[in-house]
Amino acid sequence: MKKVIFVVLALIVVVGMVQASDMRFGVKAGIALGNVNKDVEELDAPAEADKKMRMAVTFGAMMHMPVGEKMVFMAEGSYIPKGVKIEYMSEEMIMRLDYLQFDAMMKYAFSEAFGLYAGPGMGLIMKAEQEFDGDTYDFKDDVETLEFSLNIGGQFMATENVVIDARYNMGLTQVPNEGDFDLKNNVLSLTVGYLF
């Protein structure tokens, strides 16, 4: 039911924005570096283990709509991999938490080329699995369907159409759907986009 409500609200917002003028649509792709807010011992790994960012490809679509001389409203939909990687001796454990992410942000343009932005995000879980020693365990049923987050970032317009974006996405809701293990996602991403 949550998924249906979310999709309906997203469609209403998109249809409403399509009627506005001066909007530009585009696509983007890049890398995402996922991490979580817990240390290795809290993740049931030895203290000597190394917690590393999970690197994977992210991609999606975007819309930019000027709402003033210096302000731009940005709406995005993207597939973003989150999670973490833990290495201990010769073994590796990867926690994959992949989301269909919807973001709504406001950008302040300091110049035609550079701007800073912030805004909320909401992710719909697509994959939740753990890989260890060649085996993969699916735990999607143990994960919250929706994740709310906050985005902070900057954009550089390399040309009139090419956008370079650096962003920090901070999870605001815990990943597990039961208990009080307050595991949250954090992601750094670097993407290159093209506005038509």
5 pLDDT higher than 60? no
Tokens matching residue 71:
């302000």
- Of 57, 73, 76, the residue nearest 22 (C-alpha): 73
Q: What is the pLDDT of residues 59-77, one digit of tens each?
A: 999 999 999 999 999 999 9
Instruction: State the Cα–Cα distance between residues 187 and 54, nearest whole angstrom.
Output: 9
Average pLDDT, the chain: 92
Reported confidence tier of residue 134, pLDDT bands at 50, 70, 90: confident
Q: Give the pLDDT score at 9.
A: 53
CB atoms within 10 A of CB 26: 17
Q: Considering its fold, how many domains does the chain have in total?
A: 1
Range of the domain at 115: 2-195
CATH number at residue 121: 2.40.160.20
Q: 25 forms bridges with which residues in the sheet?
A: 63
Please answer whether residues 25 and 63 qualify as being in contact, where contact means their C-beta atoms are separated by less than 8 angstroms. Answer: yes
Percent of the chain, pLDDT > 90? Answer: 85
Which pTM value belongs to this model? 0.87
In degrees rounded to 5, what are phi and psi of residue 56?
Answer: -155, 170
